[in-house]
Amino acid sequence: MSPLDVQFTAPDAPPSEDGRPPLADAYLRHRAWLTALLVRRYGPDEAADIAQDTWLRIHRYIPPAPIRSPRSLLARIALNLAANRLRKTARETATDPGHDDLAGQVIDQSQEQAVFFEQMLLALPPKLRDVFALSHVMGLTYREIAQLRGISVKAVEKRMTQAIARCADMVRG
């Protein structure tokens, strides 16, 4: 019987003698292998973070059946976490005002531009204007805006994306 075919714990198995959850022993046994896999795919910095997230995730995981292949399960958990991180990073980059073309421009403080900015802001629907102003004028983060307005961060992201798109259309003309 190879180490990959070893049956580990049943779903209702108690923690090990030292109090670790059922998958912790498997993680500790295969940590070097998992880290090497992650380093090859994502580089050393990301790999360390993903491995740590995997360690945290397995503490909450109760397998639905005995584990036949702990390496496969650990790799699947780690790769799912990595995919989630990449999606989140892509979403934040796509909607982050710091990455927008408008944010990189040096703004002349002329009165004409101030008037245009005010007109552009007033042309936005109230919900979009509110989120846009809180972010670009007040400098609040999406999380702070969400808490302040009692909406989700996703709603803030969506509104900000719509507001930036409308502002870009107004700038173009």
3-state secondary structure labels for all residues of 45-91? HHHHHHHHHHHHHHCCCCCCCCCCCHHHHHHHHHHHHHHHHHHHHHH
Q: How far is CA 114 from CA 20, 76, 101, 120, in A?
A: 60, 52, 18, 10
Average pLDDT rounded to a whole number, residues 138-155: 91
pLDDT digits (tens, 9 = 90+) for 51-75: 888 888 887 777 777 878 888 888 8
Q: Two tokens at 14?
A: 């108690």
On the question of pLDDT at 11 being above 70, the answer is no
What confidence category does residue 2 fall into, taking pLDDT thresholds of 50, 70 and 90? very low
What domains appear along the chain, each with residue ranges and CATH number? 3-95 (1.10.1740), 97-172 (1.10.10.10)
Distance separating alpha carbons of residues 41 and 78, to the nearest angstrom: 11
What confidence category does residue 125 fall into, taking pLDDT thresholds of 50, 70 and 90? very high
What confidence category does residue 120 fall into, taking pLDDT thresholds of 50, 70 and 90? confident
One-letter identity of residue 108: D
For residue 161, what pLDDT is reported? 92
On the question of pLDDT at 5 being above 80, the answer is no
Question: Per residue in 114-138, is it b (16+ CB within 10 Å) or e — as a string?
Answer: eeeeeebbeebeeebbbbbebbbee
